[in-house]
Amino acid sequence: ERSNSTGTGTAPVLVASNRGPVSFSTAEDGTLDLRRGGGGLVSGLSAIGDPDAVWVCAALGDADRRAARAAPDGRLDRAGHDVGGQAVRMLDIDPETFARAYNGVANSTLWFVHHLLYATPTAPAFDAGFRTEWQAYTAYNAAFAEALAAEAAPGAAVLVQDYHLSLAPALLRAARPDLRIGHFSHTPWAPPEYFRLLPDDVAEAVLTGILGADRAGFLTRRWALAFAECCAAVLGAEVDREALTVTHAGRTTRLGVHGLGADADFLRERAHRPDVEERLAALREAVGDRRAVVRVDRTELSKNIVRGFQAYRHLLRTRPEWQDRVVHIAFAYPSRTDLAEYRDYTARVRELAAEINTEFGTDSWQPLILHVDDDFPRSLAAYRLADVALVNPIRDGMNLVAKEVPVVSDRGCALVLSREAGAHAELGEDALSVNPYDVIATSDALHAGLTMAADERADRTKRLAAAATALPPQQWFLDQLDALR
């Protein structure tokens, strides 16, 4: 019995996110297979070890929906489906509403705005189709708010995650003013002049939705300030840039900066298991005595994979001494393939990789090795092997690859890092900084990384690893919870 007569539940701590800590697929015999996810939130929530905590997420596909329907109220039983002792409540949102909210508004609109991804002469165009999607996004956020209101104990702390759920904090506050509500953005935040591409009412709803929280968290001060500037420009809110507060309609929301770090203990242990060693041996064989430039990303528009390949091609063209002396290992695994922009981008990535191999490849040297399937142990093996890691996003909330590489690197690795990644705020000093749009500067940085002296590389890697692990996921999560309470 989770609801008492006043309509409140029993969970003292709740997390809400679109993608939950578990997902399901349908096995050949028709039964459901469970997969546990990783990431900062999963280890963070397990760190509090509260058996009454509840994680509310959306069912993302048909198998998830089956699992959600099989569980009473969509709350998966603890025995089989929990994550670190916490219950998961998966919302069975109807597929059309979900697709409009997730693909249409969250990933095609808000993600594009925050990462500056539009080619503005033609996109965005906020038409009748968008209005239908916006309604769905509102309904999707309302479904989360309703579930959270039903599960939360009096005075509970609720941590709402990311751009999928920007309306939920205000909706939840209206239903349950007793709760302590936090929102956290894992993305960058757009500058006001770009944010105002959104229709005025949408821009206002997104901001006032998040301001429904007591605290709004960001990965860097830069993104927190951009949010504050948007509140000032769009809402006329009163902003204190020093104290990081936003006051609007009589309420003050505090902004927090929590720079999620890499999980050193987990990574170092995981990176030396047999499955990683096996993949490392295979990669070593392919690289031989050449240098390795490594990148690992979702095939994501903001990750800037195409310009990264162009920079590598420019290096081979203009510094032929690197031919046959370097291999670019690029892992670009599938992401958001429902969106045409992502499918086109994936095709462009593959095409360019093939062009580079055709232009320079020989019988004994493949200049660029592209893998498009997700394989975490293989990524760790590549991190260990890398001489240079290329992390060149157009814009990125944080970028954990930049933080993970120095932690597991075997011999030290030069980090070429976009100045537009949130991680740059913490790692910029010991990385080779690049403007992600400048292909030639990126190529020069690759060259600088490849020629960096071994002891300098090792020293920088040590300092990078220290900075990268300053706020491990468990502490990151607890800090937010403490600040909220």
**Residues found near ligand G6P in the complex (CB under 6 A):** 19, 107, 162, 186-187, 335-336
Q: Which two tokens stand for residue 204?
A: 């206002």
Q: How far apart are CA 421 and CA 112, in angstroms?
A: 15
**DSSP output for 21-85:** SEEEEE-TTSPEEEEE--SHHHHHHHHH--TT-EEEEE--SHHHHHHHHHSGGGEE-HHHH-BTT
Question: Residue 397 Cβ, how far from ligand G6P at the closest point, in Å?
Answer: 6
* Of residues 107 and 379, the one with the C-beta less far from ligand G6P: 107
* Of residues 58 and 445, the one with the C-beta less far from ligand G6P: 58
What's the angle, vertex CA 65, arms to CA 133 and CA 473, rounded to 5?
Answer: 85
CB 316 within 8 A of CB 356: yes
The crossing angle, in degrees rounded to 10, of helices 168-175 and 200-211 is 50
- Residue with CB nearest ligand G6P? 186
* Of residues 110 and 385, the one with the C-beta less far from ligand G6P: 110
Q: What residue has token string 């000032």?
A: 232
Question: Residue 321 Cβ, how far from ligand G6P at the closest point, in Å?
Answer: 38
Question: Residue 417 Cβ, how far from ligand G6P at the closest point, in Å?
Answer: 17
* Type of residue numbered 200: D
Question: Residue 384 Cβ, how far from ligand G6P at the closest point, in Å?
Answer: 24
Helix (H, G, I), strand (E, B) or coil at 247: strand
* Of residues 8 and 43, the one with the C-beta less far from ligand G6P: 43
* Of residues 187 and 208, the one with the C-beta less far from ligand G6P: 187
Q: Which two tokens stand for residue 110?
A: 């808000």
Question: Residue 63 Cβ, how far from ligand G6P at the closest point, in Å?
Answer: 16
Q: How far apart are CA 443 and CA 134, in angstroms?
A: 41
Q: How far apart are CA 344 and CA 370, in angstroms?
A: 17
Q: What residue has token string 């099989």?
A: 70
* Of residues 107 and 346, the one with the C-beta less far from ligand G6P: 107
CB 189 within 8 A of CB 228: no
* Of residues 329 and 398, the one with the C-beta less far from ligand G6P: 398
Question: Residue 185 Cβ, how far from ligand G6P at the closest point, in Å?
Answer: 8
Q: How far apart are CA 288 and CA 276, in angstroms?
A: 18
* Of residues 245 and 335, the one with the C-beta less far from ligand G6P: 335
* Of residues 323 and 335, the one with the C-beta less far from ligand G6P: 335
- Cα-flanking dihedrals φ and ψ of residue 151, to 5°? -90, -25
Pick the closest to residue 306 from 361, 358, 368, 399 (CA basis): 368
Taking CA atoms, 21 is separated from 40, 81, 253, in Å, by 10, 9, 28
The beta-carbon contacts of 122-127 under 8 Å, at least 24 apart in sequence, are 124/197, 126/198, 126/199, 126/202
Question: Residue 107 Cβ, how far from ligand G6P at the closest point, in Å?
Answer: 6
Q: Is 30 exposed, middle or buried (0-12, 13-18, 19+ CB in 10 A)?
A: exposed
* Of residues 109 and 187, the one with the C-beta less far from ligand G6P: 187
* Of residues 223 and 322, the one with the C-beta less far from ligand G6P: 223
Question: Residue 104 Cβ, how far from ligand G6P at the closest point, in Å?
Answer: 13
Question: Residue 39 Cβ, how far from ligand G6P at the closest point, in Å?
Answer: 8
CB 83 within 8 A of CB 90: no
Question: Residue 41 Cβ, how far from ligand G6P at the closest point, in Å?
Answer: 9
Question: Residue 412 Cβ, how far from ligand G6P at the closest point, in Å?
Answer: 28
Going by their DSSP bridges, the two strands 368-371 and 326-333 should be labelled as parallel
Q: Percent helix, strand and coil across the chain, each rounded to 5? A: 50, 20, 30
Q: CB under 8 Å to 330, separation ≥6 — which residues? A: 294, 295, 305, 308, 309, 353, 368, 369, 370, 371
* Of residues 162 and 430, the one with the C-beta less far from ligand G6P: 162
Question: Residue 2 Cβ, how far from ligand G6P at the closest point, in Å?
Answer: 27
CB 410 within 8 A of CB 381: no
